[in-house]
């Protein structure tokens, strides 16, 4: 990224500067309802910052100096009338609209996000002036002819840089959800991150210096306090000494768990009579998923850019998600994902074939969105070449390979668990079905879906094998 230009201050009077900062073009005759005292207070509240050192600015970004600097720059470049209040606002805000207008005028994608490409265009558009050299009050004394010089080869040696570190981030597919026993402290009522020593990152040599992947996390956990156990933001472990970052993110932004819970049906195993199901809620969830996937893509772009900025020396590897449901072609039977029993009776959990096929299409759409987010950041970010996608699907044999088995015989050994439930959970489910407590089945299914549809031990190892082919020098 180019260094930010020097603003022309000599051409703006002190009063004119306050007007420009407040969004009033000096000499334009345009007034602003804010008082001069309020404008001065605004300027003092947000001293100038280097916008290149700020993360990507977007809707919902915390109020502060970075947004205030953006507002100042837009006022100078476009003559906008933006109050420098440090607040980005929503899609209807003047700041957001000013960013859109600037991007359109410069031929950039008008997404309203101030990332590397937009910052670079702002740099280029800012006026420049030669820096003034303050006058000296006395001549600078000439160096003494007898003063000893210090040869370059006698300079003190620099301190060797510490070795670059590996930070393993991500959600449940990176933490090793479903592969108990979990690491101490990550399976408590206060912390359900469920980190397992069978997660793919634990096969990398050297092992991660920081393993902060956490089950249930969205992209928000990168920069905000994690939802599980109030853990610190995962990105707080990133810095100049980070050399490798790996992760999976996005599935929880989409809300796969909610969709799976809504689409599971309970049937009597012998007669396939449906005991419980909610097709209306299932269809609603499936119809909402494409929009959630589109939003996930935008969240991932911000996430990737943030990681590259916080870890300027790191290679970043994004793993996509392995295939969950198989593409079984003309097989029209439902996908049996689990079974449970009570004395003399057996039930099964089923996802209808047409719903199963919709999940296959949506999984592919989600992985396409992850790849698109990586590609956009690669093309627009100055450090985008450090970001690489690791496609794990081929390692699993695609959607006809080692997915969940759907109860079929003759399929490859699954590397993705279907429903995982403890004996206690199975007993509770059986009791609620047998006693007619249908209203409790939703809670029962919610309890067991959370740890289901995650890679088995072998699945995690296969994710590592896909990653190993893309690891940078120093790791294998």
Structure confidence by residue, pLDDT tens digits, 8-30: 332 233 333 333 333 333 333 33
Low-confidence winner among 9-13, 293-297, 448-452 (lowest mean pLDDT):
9-13
Provide the CATH number for the domain formed by 14-125 in this structure: 1.10.101.10
Whether 218 and 298 have beta carbons less than 8 Å apart is answered as no
Q: Is the pLDDT of residue 348 over 90?
A: no
pTM over 0.85: no
User: Tell me: the pLDDT tens digits for 238-251?
Assistant: 999 999 999 999 99
Q: Is 268 helix (H, G, I), strand (E, B) or coil?
A: strand
Homologous superfamily of domain range 165-468: SGNH hydrolase (3.40.50.1110)
Among 65-69, 223-227, 313-317, top mean pLDDT goes to 313-317
Q: Where are the domains positioned within the chain?
A: 14-125, 165-468
pLDDT at 113: 84
pLDDT (mean) for 60-87:
86
Q: What is the Cα–Cα distance from 265 to 426, expressed in whole angstroms? A: 15
Q: Is 319 left (phi over 0), alpha (psi -120 to 50) or beta?
A: beta
pLDDT at 227: 64
Q: Name which residue leads in pLDDT, 295 or 278.
A: 295
Tell me 136's DSSP state.
P
If pLDDT is split at 50, 70 and 90, which confidence band does 35 have?
A: very low
If pLDDT is split at 50, 70 and 90, which confidence band does 452 have?
A: confident
Write down the mean pLDDT value for the chain.
80
The proportion of the chain whose per-residue pLDDT surpasses 90, expressed as a percent, equals 40
Closest CA to 449 of 337, 322, 281, 291: 337
- CB burial string 343-371: b at 16+ within 10 A, e below: eeeebbbbbbbebbbbbbebbeebbebbe
Q: Is the pLDDT of residue 278 over 90?
A: no
User: Tell me: the pLDDT tens digits for 369-385?
Assistant: 999 999 999 999 989 99
pLDDT at 104: 85
User: Tell me: the pLDDT tens digits for 94-153?
Assistant: 898 899 889 888 888 888 888 888 988 898 888 865 444 444 444 444 444 444 444 444
Q: Is the pLDDT of residue 296 over 90?
A: yes
Closest CA to 416 of 72, 173, 89, 142: 173
Closest CA to 346 of 431, 269, 256: 269
């Amino acid at each position: 990224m180019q260094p930010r230009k020097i603003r022309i201050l000599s051409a703006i009077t002190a009063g004119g500067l306050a007007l420009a900062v407040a969004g009033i073009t000096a000499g334009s005759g345009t007034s602003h309802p804010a008082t001069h005292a309020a404008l001065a207070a605004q300027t003092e509240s947000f001293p100038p910052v280097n916008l290149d050192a700020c993360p990507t600015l977007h809707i919902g970004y915390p109020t502060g100096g970075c947004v205030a600097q953006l507002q100042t720059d837009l006022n100078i470049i476009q003559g906008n009338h933006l109050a420098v209040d440090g607040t980005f606002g929503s899609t209807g805000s003047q700041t957001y609209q000013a960013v859109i207008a600037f991007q359109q005028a410069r031929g950039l994608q008008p997404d309203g996000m101030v990332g590397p490409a937009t910052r670079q265009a702002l740099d280029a558009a800012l006026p420049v002036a030669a820096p003034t050299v303050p006058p000296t009050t006395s001549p600078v004394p000439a160096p003494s002819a007898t003063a000893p010089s210090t040869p370059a080869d006698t300079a003190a040696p620099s301190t060797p840089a510490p070795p670059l570190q590996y930070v393993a981030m991500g959600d449940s597919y990176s933490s090793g959800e479903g592969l108990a026993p979990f690491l101490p402290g990550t399976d408590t009522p206060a912390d359900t991150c469920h980190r397992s020593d069978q997660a793919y990152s634990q096969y990398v040599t050297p092992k991660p210096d920081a393993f902060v992947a956490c089950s249930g996390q969205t992209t928000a956990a990168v920069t905000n306090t994690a939802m599980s156990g109030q853990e610190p933001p995962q990105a707080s472990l990133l810095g100049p000494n980070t050399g490798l970052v790996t992760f999976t993110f996005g599935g929880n932004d989409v809300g796969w768990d909610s969709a799976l819970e809504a689409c599971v049906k309970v049937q009597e195993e012998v007669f396939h009579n449906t005991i419980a199901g909610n097709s209306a809620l299932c269809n609603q969830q499936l119809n909402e998923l494409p929009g959630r996937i589109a939003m996930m893509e935008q969240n991932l772009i911000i996430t990737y850019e943030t990681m590259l900025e916080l870890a300027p020396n790191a290679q970043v590897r994004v793993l996509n998600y392995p295939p969950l449901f198989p593409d079984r072609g003309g097989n029209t039977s439902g996908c049996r994902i689990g079974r449970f029993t009570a004395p003399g009776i057996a039930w099964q959990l089923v996802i209808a074939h047409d719903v199963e096929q919709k999940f296959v299409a949506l999984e592919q759409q989600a992985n396409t969105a992850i790849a698109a987010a990586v590609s956009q950041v690669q093309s627009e970010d100055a450090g985008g070449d450090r970001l690489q996608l690791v496609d794990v699907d081929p390692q699993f044999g695609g959607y006809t390979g080692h997915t969940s088995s759907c109860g079929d015989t003759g399929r490859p050994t699954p590397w993705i668990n279907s429903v995982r439930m403890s004996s206690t959970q199975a007993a509770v489910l059986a009791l609620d079905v047998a006693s007619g407590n249908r209203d409790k089945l939703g809670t029962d299914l919610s309890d067991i879906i959370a740890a289901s549809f995650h890679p088995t031990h072998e699945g995690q190892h296969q994710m590592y094998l896909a990653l190993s082919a893309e690891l940078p020098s120093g790791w294998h």
